[in-house]
Amino acid sequence: MTSGYGRSISVPLQELDKCSVCSKTEKLRVCSSCAQVIYCSKECQKKAWAQHKTVCSQTHRINLKIFHPMIAYMFEYFRTIIPPNQPLHRQHPAFLHQIMKSPLPGYRRVTDSAIRLHYTITLGRNHVLGERGNELLTWWRGKTNEDKMKLFHHVMRETFVPEVTVVVSLILLSEVYSSYYVRTPQVPGEPPVFFPWEKRPLYRLEHGQSPVVDFGICRGKIESKKNRVQTWTYHDPKTGARNMVLDPDRHLWLYFRTIQGEEVFLDCSSYSFGMEACMDATKYLLKVSKRFRVSGAARIPAYFFTTEEQDRLPYVLKEEKRFSVMHNKDLWNALSWQPDKPKKEKAIVRDFLASIQEKECTAEQEERLDYYRMYGSLMMNQVLSGRHWKDWEKPEMYRRNDLWDTRDGWDEWQKAGPTDANYKAELTGLTRLFVDACGGE
């Protein structure tokens, strides 16, 4: 266990090397309850139980097959919430203008060519979409509201991919793999530290029965297979500016590697490239406070797959570089709880984002990183402390986003949102305290 700046990070076992009791190297298996200790037989497990039972009883295993919808939901949540100083219309060129001409977003099947499809959206006069899209009616004239929502979601899911991907991975590290909230030492000139030592249970991600020993971010290319990869350029005829927000040669997704060497991937950022598989995340939000719920959870973009299952994807991912988050010891020192992060911690996260996107982190990105981390940590803490995943089942999947194919989509879109009266969970304990300090629900 290594003490980080603001947390104490507990890295899981990295390999099946030898029995913790007799040191044998054959017929090894991890403890089925905590995955923290290796045994070669039931006899060795019984010998170790007296000392092991305390740690074992405080460890909770979380299967990615059940838990990955919550990870995918975090991507959508962060794409939706806005830091106070950054109104929605600043996110994207299409949120600054009326739409004069645009294809309707949607997947396109490969026919005689697997090359990319290049689309151009022509922008009109300046137009503020509003904090929650309340100016949608005049945004794209001559189209149905359902078609406008298809384009709205396409644009929204192009935004902030690097910082959202980094924040999701940091939250998994800080909330799943920290065993203590650590009292951070006071630094001269920094805000006072108020959060005390508090022991908390250990959590361990796994896939099947195999513990995850590493996770992080992959960067590479997304290429056509069954579906054609789409690129979208936003053209302002008045200024001549042409902007392409997402680059298919710099795609980002998450990886998880188990102690058995199996690799599992979660791609939540390929929607705007024309890869429309979605899952229904509404049932995972039944016990989540309205502060952490956003409309649209009924169709969350996500592809979850193992190495052996990649052939089933409608596209090809070509990994060029990966960035471990679990084993990045610099990041261990950047996980404090306080809303006003120390300068040293901000610099570590800023540099990590810069390494992912291969350009400097902007002031706006840094503000989003801080804001997302604060609320994402609180949301994940509510899920973990309440053991919510124990009631979950595998998600309901959809090959494409059919939410706006009929006018009934509006009801489905609002399901599990902050105004849905069927979702009545409230915050309690420390999470309640922090949200109150940040301005309430």
List the pLDDT tens digit at each of the 441 positions of the chain.
443 445 677 777 767 678 877 888 777 777 766 667 777 888 888 887 777 776 776 778 899 999 999 999 999 999 988 887 776 556 789 988 999 999 999 888 887 666 899 999 999 999 877 655 557 888 998 788 889 999 999 999 999 999 999 999 999 999 998 875 544 455 566 555 554 455 677 888 999 888 899 999 999 999 999 999 999 999 999 999 999 999 999 999 999 999 889 999 999 999 999 999 999 999 999 999 988 999 999 999 999 999 999 999 999 999 999 999 999 999 998 887 666 778 888 999 999 999 999 999 999 999 999 999 989 998 998 899 889 999 999 999 999 888 888 777 888 899 999 888 888 777 665 556 556 555 555
CB atoms within 10 A of CB 113: 9
- The confidence score (pLDDT) of residue 438 equals 56
What is the reported pLDDT for 410?
A: 86
> What is the reported pTM?
0.87
How does pLDDT run across 46-74, given as a tens digit for each residue? 887 777 776 776 778 899 999 999 999 99
23: number of CA atoms within 13 Å, CB side? 0
CA dist 175 and 379 (Å) reads 10
CA atoms within 13 A on the CB side of 199: 4
Amino acid 219: pLDDT: 99
Strands 251-258 and 263-267: antiparallel
Helix (H), strand (E), coil (C) string for 96-156: CEEEEECCCCCCCECCCCCCCEEEEEEEEEECCCCCCCCCHHHCCCCCCHHHHHHHHHHHH
Q: For residue 235, what are its two tokens? A: 């053209």
Residue range 8-40, pLDDT digits in tens: 777 777 676 788 778 887 777 777 666 677 778
Q: How far apart are CA 305 and CA 298, in angstroms?
A: 20
d(CA 284, CA 392): 7
The pLDDT value recorded for residue 298 is 94
